[in-house]
Amino acid sequence: MDAVSETKEPRYAPYANGRFQMAMGLVALDLTDWIDVDDSRAAELCEKERLLAVQHEAVFGDLPGSAPAQREVLMLLLDNLERCHPGLISCDDGMVTVAETGRTYRLAGFADHALDLAGRLVQEDLCLMTPGEEGYVLHAASLCFPARWVLAEKLGRPMMGIHEHVSGYAEKLGRPVDRFFTHLKADKPVARLNWSVVDDPALFQTSGKFRNDGQSVITPENAGDRLWLRVERQTLRRLPDSGDILFTIRTFVDPLSSLAARPDLAAGLRAAIAEMPEGMQRYKSLIPFRAALDGYLGALMERAA
Ligand code: HEM
């Protein structure tokens, strides 16, 4: 499925301040805002069902021992949806029904893989982290919308290993993130934003990092319709019973042309990319269309001046 965010302007613009920093960038999260719902919900939940049906192993994975924490996530999610988003789901007699899609699930059918069901109820992807010898490891995930990574390559690996290809992570973020995970309190959930510019609007992408395919067909004239802003709103919270950590990823994809009415955001994005180290630009595969992107954003700013 192609991008489904149809908002005129992007909901989140973490590049707005024109800076690029390899920082954790965590802010306190009110759990009433834990789950993000918008009008793409029905389409995205249907897309999740499709992916889970045709390539289940690519989008769901769990390791032995994760079942109790998976069940804890499902219970927290059901409770949160009923309290903070009334009407989205209904629970009755061991069944849960999603209002917009009309799909009904039997809780008992997911007793050993509760995260699979949890992922079908929200637009977020869900990653369960548990303490291991080298820090927190990915223990289970419902991951229908990966941003160019493969679940099977990360399952069971610690944070440092999961991020081994991320330019600058080991030097700048590795230790602070590990320390943060150790000390995270159940009553202090947090959120952060991550962003990229991509030449493919698909929500499910398992490859495309470090691409440098030379001459791109993208030009300053067509970049608005051939490039997309991909922003992830991520949250982290410790589960009170198991002590594991749940990482959620909510993905927003908007055409670059969504900045047309916001020259201030265009200027922020342009400056943030100019500041981004080359290693990160390579990691994000910006190089093939970097000049076209810059030209498009520059033209938007000139038009507004
Ligand atoms: C405070 C917590 C975290 C920070 C600061 C962080 C930071 C980052 C950064 C900067 C990137 C590069 C993304 C980009 O700009 O395109 C990244 C990628 C990634 N992150 Fe995290 N992350 C965090 C938590 C997690 C957790 C809990 C997971 C568990 C699944 C995770 C999985 C990944 C994966 C799979 C990638 C892509 C790696 C690749 O391309 O091989 N992150 N993260």
Q: By the 8 A CB rule, do 239 and 73 touch?
A: yes
| Domain assignment of residue 180, given as a range | 27-304
Mean pLDDT of 226-243: 98
**In this model, does residue 5 exceed pLDDT 70?**
no
Which residue type does 200 have?
Answer: D
Q: CB burial class (10 A; 0-12, 13-18, 19+) of residue 252?
A: buried
Residue owning tokens 């900045």? 259
**Confidence class for position 2, pLDDT limits 50, 70, 90:** very low
Does 204 fall in a domain?
yes
Q: How far, in Å, is the centroid of ligand 1 from the Cα of 280?
A: 13
Q: What is the pLDDT of residue 156?
A: 98
Q: What are the tens digits of pLDDT across the range 76-123?
A: 999 999 999 999 999 999 999 999 999 999 999 999 999 999 999 999
Gap between the Cα atoms of 167 and 184, Å rounded: 25
Taking all residues of the chain, what is their mean pLDDT, rounded to a whole number? 95
Provide, rounded to the nearest whole percent, the portion of the chain with pLDDT above 70. Answer: 97
Residues 6 or more apart whose CB falls under 8 angstroms from that of 7 comprise: 38, 254, 258
Atom 21 of ligand 1: nearest residue by CA position? 163
Does 246 fall in a domain?
yes
Does 293 fall in a domain?
yes
Q: What is the pLDDT of residue 216?
A: 80
Q: What are the tens digits of pLDDT across the range 158-173?
A: 999 999 999 999 999 9
Q: What is the pLDDT of residue 178?
A: 98
Does 12 fall in a domain?
no
Atom 2 of ligand 1: nearest residue by CA position? 177
Does 21 fall in a domain?
no
Q: What is the pLDDT of residue 1?
A: 46
Torsion, Cα 16 17 23 25, to 10 degrees, reads -70
Describe the crossing of helices 263-275 and 290-304 by its angle, rounded to 10 degrees.
Answer: 140
- Give the count of domains, the chain: 1
Does 153 fall in a domain?
yes
Q: What is the pLDDT of residue 7?
A: 45
Least confident of 6-10, 142-146, 201-205, 276-280: 6-10
Q: Which of 194, 124, 182, 142 is nearest to 158 (CA)?
A: 182
- Residue 188: count of CB within 10 angstroms of its CB: 13
Instruction: Give long-range contacts, CB 8 A cutoff, 24+ apart: 157-163.
Output: 158/132, 158/134, 159/129, 159/135, 160/134, 160/135, 161/134, 162/138
pTM summary value: 0.96
Does 10 fall in a domain?
no
Q: What is the pLDDT of residue 172?
A: 96
Q: Which one of 157, 162, 182, 204 would you pick to mutate in the ligand 1 pocket, going by the greatest count of ligand atoms within 8 A of its CB?
A: 162
Q: What are the tens digits of pLDDT across the range 189-224?
A: 999 999 999 999 999 999 999 998 766 899 999 999
Q: What are the tens digits of pLDDT across the range 19-32?
A: 999 999 999 999 99
Gap between the Cα atoms of 87 and 243, Å rounded: 30
Does 2 fall in a domain?
no
Q: How far, in Å, is the centroid of ligand 1 from the Cα of 303?
A: 36
Q: How far, in Å, is the centroid of ligand 1 from the Cα of 165?
A: 10
Q: What is the pLDDT of residue 63?
A: 98
Residues with CB under 6 A from ligand 1: 24, 127, 129, 138, 149, 154, 162-163, 165-166, 169, 173, 177, 180, 194, 196, 209, 247, 284
Gap between the Cα atoms of 68 and 147, Å rounded: 28
